[in-house]
Amino acid sequence: MSFELCSDASAAEWLVGQGLPWDRLAVHGPSGYSRYARLRFIPDPSFPGQRTRDVDFEQHELSEKDEVGVVLEILSRYTTTPDECYFCMWDGWGTITVDASPNFLIPNRDYWLFRGALADYADWNSSDPTRWRYGDCPDPAFIWPADRAWCIANDVDPHFASIGADHPEAVDLVVVDRRIDAVLDDRMREPLYWN
């Protein structure tokens, strides 16, 4: 496992520099990619005002971590920098054991920025007590390679993760993969559940 906390968060400045409202950035990720998709952890709402507790659906065979892993497996073919990727952990989970303040901030969200190889994602949720206080750790809020060929945004609130990529075929492959539930994303329409 080779994640390291970045002492310099300049690799995340491109996200902060997007100038997007914080909730658009946290939920849908950065703008400027040629195609977007949503990885749905539960189906989209079927009617206005639907609550998450009212959703009746068949559980996926894969965990959310494994579903994100499928997406990363596909996207790994569409970056020139698979050995240098960035992973952001939201400070609201309270699971990290790092003795440092969050080093990457957008309004209403503070993150720790880590660097590692894309292959390290398999170990992200390990129960290593030197890294995670309570065992398994939630998925990163953002994942992107150093060349920024794609980005995954996985905020705490929505029922999906957003994927943007420079290569349209990368997103198309995510959407057609039968191991996961992914759809093309209309970034102007966010399917919301009520709490």
List 88's β-bridge partners, or say none.
113, 142
- Structure token digits, residue 166: 């420079």
Which helix (H) or strand (E) segment holds residue 153: the answer is strand 150-153
In degrees, rounded to 5, the angle at the alpha carbon of residue 164 between the alpha carbons of residues 92 and 181 is 80
pLDDT tens track for 167-182? 999 999 999 999 999 9
pLDDT of amino acid 134:
46
Is the pLDDT at 116 greater than 70? The verdict is: yes
Mean pLDDT of the chain: 87
Please tell me which residue, 97 or 2, carries the higher pLDDT value. Answer: 2
Task: Identify the residue whose tokens are 């390679």.
Answer: 145
pLDDT of amino acid 125:
62
pLDDT tens track for 34-46? 999 999 999 999 8
- Structure token digits, residue 160: 């999906």
23 burial type by CB count under 10 A (0-12 exposed, 13-18 middle, 19+ buried): middle
Helix (H, G, I), strand (E, B) or coil at 32: coil
Listing DSSP states for 38-106 in one string gives EEESSPPPSSTT-BGGG---PPPSS-HHHHHHHHHHHHGGG-S-TTSEEEEEEGGG--B--SS---EEE
